[in-house]
Amino acid sequence: MSAVSRVRDWFANPWGQPRLLGAFTWAYMVWSIVPVGIAILFSFNNGRSRSVWQGFSTRWWWGDPNNSVLHDPTLRGAIEQSLKLACLDMLVAVPIGVGLAIGLTRWRGYGARPVNYLMLFPLVTPEIVMAVSLLLVFSLLYAIPLGTEAQTLGQVTFSISYVVIIVRGRLLSIGPEYEEAARDLGASQLGAFRLALLPLLWPAIFASFIVVFALSIDDFVVTDYLSAGQATQTVPILIYSSVRGTATPALNAVATVMVIITLLSVALAYLVYRWSARSQPVTSNSALNEIAALEV
Amino acid sequence: MKTGSVELVQLRKEFGDVTAVDGIDVSIEAGEFFSLLGPSGCGKTTSLRLIAGFERPTAGKILLDGSDMAATPPHRRKVNTVFQSYALFPHLDVFDNVAFGLRRARVKKAEIRERVTRVLEAVHLGEYGKRKPSQLSGGQQQRVALARALVLEPSVLLLDEPLGALDAKLRKALQLELKSIQERFGITFVYVTHDQEEALTMSDRIAVMSGGRVEQIATPEAMYEEPQTVFVADFLGVSNLMGVTAIGVDGNACRTQLGEFSLRACAGEIAQTGETHVVIRPERVVIEPYEAPGPNRVPGMIDRVVYHGASDQLVVRLATGDVVQALFVNDGTPREWSQGTAVQVHLPAEALRVLPPATGRRVLLLRRSRLPKTTRRRSKLGRPDGRFRSTARLARSSEGRCVHRDLLRCRSPSAGVGGGIANFGGKVWLDKVKVNGNAAVLGGSGIAGASIAPDFSPSSTVASLTLRHSSMNGNQQTEGPSPDPNAMGGLGGGGILNMDGLATLDHTWVKANTAQGFVGGGIAGGDYIGFGGQSTLSVSHGGVNDNVAPHAGGGGIQNLLGSATVTHSEIDGNTSLNGGGISSGNQGSPNGTAQLRVSHSGGLEHGHGRARAEKALRSPQTGSRTAVAP
């Protein structure tokens, strides 16, 4: 047996580990993590450069009295605005989306099918188109002041679609029996919803929260169009606008903060999800799969 | 007075343009175990959901202890449901699941604890209160669902196929348990199932439903022993249904005619006349040695012996083409019958039950669930009048196109020609169609084709028949040749009778057909009546096997006057008077010629088939020209 064929057999052994797939997966992981890792690394650079390593320091985090994340009000304001918008978006979009999803699954009429397709509209519309039209409508038609209000409404507008899709999938897999059983056992319509349906919907609702959070943190185009100057700058807008100006590793530190917050929220949500789905008949990964499928 | 009586009055439910429940009247007594039995889609679950209140009736009343519930929401009905999927709340443990209803009714805490514990004990789940439903087996989940409904002490318990998801053994055990719980609690059970055995073992009374209607309501014994409709007879247990002609009352019985055999039937609607069905349960069929004398006996041949463990099932094909099942208890004695044995089938008069004639819709529903397409097909084909009326589909100077259909058992003793299809000067085109088990008197039991009008006057159009990827099996032509030279007698063509038209068979099998007339067992071609036409027959990539024609020339194919081409086909195991496989030659008209061309066919190419092939190619008549190209 030649060495070549031995290597080939080791690699292509149908009973062994899928090594080729493993190799691809790891290659992809490295490929996708390296940029983030480098960005995080340079937030600890002991110099103004974001591309030449000049030694380790924490001056861009808290050491520098003017330009560090801790002390620069612009940077802090951007993080605060990002988190504020994300929270507002979650609080508004999720309840509306859940309600819409329930309504749409129950609606049996002529309009049901078109509306189900129209729900996908914000997903497939180019975001820039969406942003321009939202700006026009908000400023001309509804006279909503630009800034936090307009930004929240804009984000809610497209976030709802994601919530509806996640929750509707879950609703369809739950089916009508649990509610019927609750009604049969003497619960009113509202009682059946609260006692039977809502507990079963929690995983999907959590998944929606995570997705909406990620969407909001990520969003640049809509948020930028609907912002009202520096006061309502979010992190993506800040990073974008300072690229041409005097960018310091403090920006990397801001980005790192956002990465950490996102990771923490996902981890927290996963734990809550595991806890809430611990006795669910449906496979416990379904909501995570929903998120994975939707993360844009 | 005991509570828990349910009365459905002209109850009707429509979903869009589909009628799920079609005006049923059912009266269920308090404390009764009542089953709604039927195939899927018969409306039984919808009926149950109407009683539970999950659906709103389109019309009719639901009387619960005399008061109409039709407009009451489900949570205000003293009725509880055990769901097919159990619908146990996965986020609650067993105790909380069972206590759910009591908490909604604001029962005191101590009482809840006591009642839940008691009912869990009753279903043998006392220890399982703290478990989650997902930690229980299917049978245990089922019992929790039952306990959850029972704890509310409803006056009526509705059960929607509650044992459907369990394995056979557990189902048996739970059947008994359900029945004993029902007796202990004294609650009315309304039980929906498609499992006839379940319904028979547990119910006090059964309603058999079909197509949104109630077919019959009776006790299990009466339902099994005295079915009142063809549907009930066929649905409940194995039953031998035979289409017969009822002649009239004869003493305490009804005289019926099954093919050429006369049968007396004592049970059922003996005053019936005309076309109808008789039914006999397999355990009442008696198998006797061949040619055993006596009335109500029909000769037959054992088609299959199926071992069932506790019993043996014999499938017997009667001389009339009907298939009868007989059941023998396996009592240790060696089996007397084997496949292929000729036997006498005794259908005792007292066990033979006359049913009212079923509507065509119902019979078709029994056989195949492809009803809508078949009926549409029927309406496109014409229906000739007169003597050669057939119950089957008919094409008359029209085009009939049939794809992927089954034309099965369209036997009718009065069909002159064409038991399955009679084609009088029309075009019939069949693709992936089975034409099996049909019977006709004169000829062409499967398909008859002739360029004549139904009254035997010449027609201007040529009949043409095309079969592709189809089969034509077990058709019977019953009448023999007449001794009187002027009378026509039975013609022949057990499978296909092609008088003077075109017949093309491609990838089609013509098997086990019989013809008692004077031509061709499987396929008969030629103008026997003398209209001067010629038949054309082409068989390719198919087979003509195991056909029988005791009085005819050719067992497989008989080509009298016309041309026949057989390629890439098997002609095997046919029996007849003089030509085993294929007989070609002009017997009737002295002026015509017959041409036969056989190539690449089973009988010719293989050594095994050579003798048969030679026999098959015998052309005994003068004036015939035979061309053979092996």
Task: Say yes or no to pLDDT of B412 above 50.
Answer: no
The model's pLDDT over B210-238, given as tens digits with 9 standing for 90+, comes to: 888 899 999 999 988 888 888 888 888 78
Interface touch B54/A281, C-beta < 8 Å:
no
Distance from CA of A287 to the nearest CA of B (A): 17
Burial of B125 (0-12, 13-18, 19+ CB in 10 A): buried
Interface touch A186/B54, C-beta < 8 Å:
no
The pTM for the full model equals: 0.62
B220 and chain A: CB distance < 8 Å anywhere? no
The model's pLDDT over B520-579, given as tens digits with 9 standing for 90+, comes to: 667 776 655 545 556 777 777 777 777 777 776 666 777 666 677 777 777 777 777 655
- Give the HSE-up count for residue A70: Cα atoms under 13 Å, Cβ half-sphere: 8
The rounded distance, in Å, linking the Cα atoms of B284 and B324 is 11
pLDDT at residue B458, as a whole number = 54
Q: Determine if residue B7 is left, alpha or beta; phi over 0 gives left, psi from -120 to 50 gives alpha, anything else beta.
A: beta
Contact, B279 vs B312, CB < 8 A? no
The distance of Cα B348 from the centroid of its chain, to the nearest Å, equals 22
Chain B residues with beta carbon closer than 8 angstroms to that of A199: 89, 91
pLDDT at residue B377, as a whole number = 34
Chain A residues with beta carbon closer than 8 angstroms to that of B101: 185-186
Mean of per-residue pLDDT scores for chain B: 74
B622 and chain A: CB distance < 8 Å anywhere? no
Interface touch A185/B152, C-beta < 8 Å:
yes
pLDDT: which is higher, A39 or B629? A39
- A-contacting residues in B 118-147 (Cβ below 8 Å): 132-134
- Give the HSE-up count for residue A228: Cα atoms under 13 Å, Cβ half-sphere: 11
Could you tell me the residue ranges of all domains in chain A? 3-42, 69-294
**Contacts (Cβ under 8 Å, ≥6 apart) of B523:** B493, B495, B496, B498, B503, B505, B510, B537, B539, B544, B556, B557, B558
Q: pLDDT class for A95, splitting at 50, 70, 90? A: very high
Contact, B521 vs B575, CB < 8 A? yes
Q: pLDDT class for B174, splitting at 50, 70, 90? A: confident
Interface touch B81/A181, C-beta < 8 Å:
yes
Task: Say yes or no to pLDDT of B283 above 60.
Answer: yes
Interface touch A185/B91, C-beta < 8 Å:
no
Instruction: Give phi and psi for B290, each to the nearest 5.
Output: -55, 140
Distance from CA of A187 to the nearest CA of B (A): 6
Contact, B489 vs B477, CB < 8 A? no
Interface touch A186/B73, C-beta < 8 Å:
no
B75 and chain A: CB distance < 8 Å anywhere? yes
Going by C-alpha positions, the residue among B540, B415, B428, B422 that lies closest to residue B477 is B415
* Highest mean pLDDT, choosing among B356-360, B450-454, B509-513, B593-597: B509-513
Going by C-alpha positions, the residue among B229, B345, B203 that lies closest to residue B286 is B345
Interface touch B105/A186, C-beta < 8 Å:
yes
Among the listed ranges B38-47, B63-72, B127-136, B562-571, which one has the minimum average pLDDT value?
Answer: B562-571
Structure tokens at B440: 């006709």
Contact, B552 vs B518, CB < 8 A? yes
Task: Say yes or no to pLDDT of B390 above 50.
Answer: no
Contact, B590 vs B532, CB < 8 A? no
Task: Say yes or no to pLDDT of B590 above 50.
Answer: no
ipTM comes to: 0.73
**Contacts (Cβ under 8 Å, ≥6 apart) of A119:** A100, A104, A161, A164, A165
CATH 1.10.167.10 fits A69-294, yes or no: no
Instruction: Give phi and psi for B247, each to the nearest 5.
Output: -100, -35
B16 and chain A: CB distance < 8 Å anywhere? no
The rounded distance, in Å, linking the Cα atoms of B32 and B37 is 15
CB-CB neighbours of B252 under 10 Å: 10
B488 and chain A: CB distance < 8 Å anywhere? no
Give the CA dihedral A236, A238, A244, A248, nearest 10 degrees: -110
Q: Which of B83, B87, B91 is opposite residue A279, by nearest beta carbon?
A: B91
Instruction: Return the residue in B55, B78, B86, B89 with the most chain A beta carbons within 10 A, the one to mutate for interface testing.
Output: B89
DSSP secondary structure letters along A74-95 = HHHHHHHHHHHHHHHHHHHHHH
pLDDT at residue B578, as a whole number = 59
Query: For B237-355, CATH number?
Result: 2.40.50.140
Contact, B42 vs B35, CB < 8 A? no
Going by C-alpha positions, the residue among A73, A119, A106, A115 that lies closest to residue A238 is A73
Task: Say yes or no to pLDDT of B605 above 50.
Answer: no
Q: pLDDT class for B51, splitting at 50, 70, 90? A: very high
Distance from CA of A167 to the nearest CA of B (A): 18
pLDDT at residue A276, as a whole number = 67
Task: Say yes or no to pLDDT of B629 above 50.
Answer: no
Chain B residues with beta carbon closer than 8 angstroms to that of A182: 89, 100
Contact, B344 vs B297, CB < 8 A? yes
CB-CB neighbours of B470 under 10 Å: 28
Task: Say yes or no to pLDDT of B361 above 70.
Answer: no
The model's pLDDT over B426-443, given as tens digits with 9 standing for 90+, comes to: 666 666 667 777 776 666
Contact, B518 vs B488, CB < 8 A? no
Distance from CA of B161 to the nearest CA of A (A): 14
Instruction: Return the residue in B46, B78, B79, B91 with the most chain A beta carbons within 10 A, the one to mutate for interface testing.
Output: B91
Distance from CA of B17 to the nearest CA of A (A): 14
Among the listed ranges A58-72, A117-131, B424-438, B580-594, which one has the minimum average pLDDT value?
Answer: B580-594
Q: Determine if residue B626 is left, alpha or beta; phi over 0 gives left, psi from -120 to 50 gives alpha, anything else beta.
A: beta
Task: Identify the architecture of domain B6-225 in CATH.
Answer: 3-Layer(aba) Sandwich (3.40)
Q: Give strand pairing partners of B563.
A: B536, B595
Task: Say yes or no to pLDDT of B485 above 60.
Answer: no
pLDDT at residue B565, as a whole number = 73
The rounded distance, in Å, linking the Cα atoms of A219 and A7 is 48
Interface touch A188/B75, C-beta < 8 Å:
yes
Mean of per-residue pLDDT scores for chain A: 84
Q: Give strand pairing partners of B305.
A: B314
B162 and chain A: CB distance < 8 Å anywhere? no
Mean pLDDT of B45-55: 91
Residues B314, B315, B321, CA angle at the centre, nearest 5°?
A: 150
Among the listed ranges A133-142, B110-119, B123-132, B606-615, which one has the minimum average pLDDT value?
Answer: B606-615
Task: Say yes or no to pLDDT of B347 above 60.
Answer: yes
Q: pLDDT class for B33, splitting at 50, 70, 90? A: very high
Interface touch A183/B152, C-beta < 8 Å:
no
Q: Which of A177, A186, A279 is opposite residue B85, by nearest beta carbon?
A: A177
| CA dist A94 → A155, A205, B12, B318 (Å) | 12, 7, 41, 71
Among the listed ranges A120-134, A230-244, B397-411, which one has the minimum average pLDDT value?
Answer: B397-411
Q: Determine if residue B490 is left, alpha or beta; phi over 0 gives left, psi from -120 to 50 gives alpha, anything else beta.
A: beta
Task: Say yes or no to pLDDT of A23 above 50.
Answer: yes
- Per DSSP, the three-state class of B483 is coil
- Per DSSP, the three-state class of B478 is coil
The rounded distance, in Å, linking the Cα atoms of B75 and B77 is 6
Task: Say yes or no to pLDDT of B277 above 80.
Answer: yes
What residue type is B587 in one-letter code? Answer: Q
pLDDT at residue A119, as a whole number = 82
Chain A residues with beta carbon closer than 8 angstroms to that of B164: none
Q: Which of B85, B91, B132 is opposite residue A200, by nearest beta carbon?
A: B91
pLDDT at residue B606, as a whole number = 30
B74 and chain A: CB distance < 8 Å anywhere? yes
Distance from CA of A233 to the nearest CA of B (A): 43
Q: Which of A180, A186, A199 is opposite residue B91, by nearest beta carbon?
A: A199
The rounded distance, in Å, linking the Cα atoms of B227 and B231 is 8
The distance of Cα B255 from the centroid of its chain, to the nearest Å, equals 24
- Per DSSP, the three-state class of A216 is helix
**Contacts (Cβ under 8 Å, ≥6 apart) of B105:** A186, B152
- A-contacting residues in B 24-63 (Cβ below 8 Å): 52-54
pLDDT at residue A88, as a whole number = 94
